[in-house]
Amino acid sequence: MTIKHLLKPRKCPQCESIAYKVLSEKDGFEFAKCSKCALIYVPNILIENAHISKELVTKPNVDYRINSPKVARIKTVFKFLNKYSNNKDKVSILDFGCGNGLYLKFAKQLGYKNIYAVDINSQAVENARSIGAKSFCGNLKDWNLPDEGIDLIVMDNVIEHFENTKETLSECSRILKNKGIIFISTPNIDSFIIKMLGTAHRHFGGAEHLTYFTIPTLCAICATAGFKPASIKTALEELTITRMLNIVLKRNLLDYDFDSSEYKEKQSNAPAPSKSSKGNKIFINIFKFFMIPFDFILINMTNMFKQGAYIDSFFIKDTQK
Ligand SMILES: [Zn+2]
């Protein structure tokens, strides 16, 4: 099937060059390396922003079944924020691409008063409003937030979706206070799993994921908006022993005990774990007890070599000379 008639050319989002080398093809989309700056991107994307019309929050039941790597990531973000400021009445947080609103829920539960959310998905925005976030459905630049009002911007698996990455980062920079924090989590194209699977990996989907970052290319594009790296780690979300067992048993072994009635209500609506899980409980607990240290070592080893499937990075806006 050819989709050439649905595509439009796109310049390299980092250096605007049009010279590239195609690395691979999948589902009619090309994945290419910029000949000038080495960024990996989709050089021909769907017309009419077709990638953004796909609903991000289509499976609420699945979304609410929180997995532990996601929770670990959120906790890291709030720990970092707390070092920056613990004044929860004054600090402003923007969840850019809020999805299921998990960051917003944590922020609210931790006592932050000024929470903002933007998403292109109306269901996500409705959900964010119900949590109490000032919300906007659409593109960030159309919201016209005031200059330098936000302390923390969260972009969890969002940056790879942007068509005009530099423009969007520049808008983030405009609304972020000087020395404010931007947290970016995105698939790591230098990871072990992608070296193994190549474009067969689910991260590669040219309809939605338009740019593919390594740590150096992410830092380079962030630098154009005046963002300086403060902490960069890679996270292993797949291939851990407990995660693989989760997939096999179709349940979240390390489901986080989210202390909120709303979450519990949503969780009770989620499909119940298989019947056999009760009988397996003792086995699972013993397994967890022995396997968690192994996973801990695995996760840390992977991070040491920057081979985790995701880049979890904090940048600080530093525009003053
Ligand atoms: Zn380039």
Query: In angstroms, rounded to a whole number, what is the distance separating the alpha carbons of residues 207 and 28?
Result: 10
Output the CA 159–ligand 1 centroid distance in Å.
Answer: 16
What is the pLDDT at residue 251? 54
102 lies in the same domain as 74: yes
Q: What are 235's strand-pairing partners?
A: 310
The mean per-residue pLDDT over the stretch 26-36 comes to: 94
Question: pLDDT-based confidence at 143, cuts 50/70/90?
Answer: very high
Give the distance, in angstroms, between the CA of residue 170 and the centroid of all CA atoms in the same chain: 19
- Residue 21 forms part of a structural domain: yes
Tokens for 305? 């070599």
Residue 155 near residue 184 (C-beta atoms within 8 A): yes
pLDDT tens column, 84-101: 998 999 999 999 999 888
Question: pLDDT-based confidence at 130, cuts 50/70/90?
Answer: very high
Output the CA 19–ligand 1 centroid distance in Å.
Answer: 8
Output the CA 288–ligand 1 centroid distance in Å.
Answer: 45
73 lies in the same domain as 26: no
Q: Per the structure, how many domains does the chain have? A: 2
99 lies in the same domain as 25: no
- Residue 312 forms part of a structural domain: yes
44 lies in the same domain as 187: no
Output the CA 37–ligand 1 centroid distance in Å.
Answer: 4
Output the CA 209–ligand 1 centroid distance in Å.
Answer: 17
Output the CA 217–ligand 1 centroid distance in Å.
Answer: 10
Output the CA 34–ligand 1 centroid distance in Å.
Answer: 5
Output the CA 51–ligand 1 centroid distance in Å.
Answer: 22
What is the pLDDT at residue 227? 98
41 lies in the same domain as 140: no
Output the CA 219–ligand 1 centroid distance in Å.
Answer: 14
Question: pLDDT-based confidence at 300, cuts 50/70/90?
Answer: confident
- Residue 136 forms part of a structural domain: yes
Output the CA 11–ligand 1 centroid distance in Å.
Answer: 8
Output the CA 182–ligand 1 centroid distance in Å.
Answer: 23
CATH of residue 138's domain is 3.40.50.150
Residue 199 near residue 24 (C-beta atoms within 8 A): yes
Q: What is the pTM of this model?
A: 0.82
Question: pLDDT-based confidence at 21, cuts 50/70/90?
Answer: very high
On average, the pLDDT of the chain sits at 82
12 lies in the same domain as 84: no
Name all contacts of 84-91 with Cβ < 8 Å and 24+ positions apart. Answer: 84/151, 84/152, 84/181, 85/151, 88/112, 88/113, 89/113, 90/114, 91/151, 91/152
| Residue ending a domain, choose from 32, 53, 74 | 53
The answer on pLDDT for 64 being more than 50 is no
The mean per-residue pLDDT over the stretch 44-55 comes to: 63
- Residue 280 forms part of a structural domain: no
Dihedral sign, Cα of residue 290, residue 292, residue 293, residue 295: positive
Output the CA 12–ligand 1 centroid distance in Å.
Answer: 5
Element (H, E) at 24: strand 20-26
What is the pLDDT at residue 1? 58
In 3-state terms, what secondary structure has residue 135?
Answer: strand
106 lies in the same domain as 151: yes
In this structure, of 25-39, 67-81, 221-235, 271-285, the range with the lowest mean pLDDT score is 271-285
- Residue 43 forms part of a structural domain: yes
pLDDT tens column, 215-238: 999 999 999 999 999 999 998 765
Output the CA 218–ligand 1 centroid distance in Å.
Answer: 12
The mean per-residue pLDDT over the stretch 251-274 comes to: 46
Task: Give residue 89's domain range.
Answer: 60-198+206-238+302-317
β-strand pairing of 29-34 with 40-41: antiparallel
Output the CA 164–ligand 1 centroid distance in Å.
Answer: 13
Q: Is pLDDT larger for residue 27 or for residue 213?
A: 213
45 lies in the same domain as 141: no
Query: In angstroms, rounded to a whole number, what is the distance separating the alpha carbons of residues 257 and 277?
Result: 18
- Residue 19 forms part of a structural domain: yes
Output the CA 220–ligand 1 centroid distance in Å.
Answer: 10
The answer on pLDDT for 275 being more than 70 is no
What is the pLDDT at residue 235? 83
234 lies in the same domain as 134: yes
What is the pLDDT at residue 299? 73
Output the CA 7–ligand 1 centroid distance in Å.
Answer: 20
49 lies in the same domain as 69: no
- Residue 253 forms part of a structural domain: no
Residue 23 backbone phi and psi in degrees, to 5: -90, -35
Output the CA 253–ligand 1 centroid distance in Å.
Answer: 42
Q: Is pLDDT larger for residue 217 or for residue 47?
A: 217
Output the CA 216–ligand 1 centroid distance in Å.
Answer: 13
Share of the chain above pLDDT 90, in %: 55
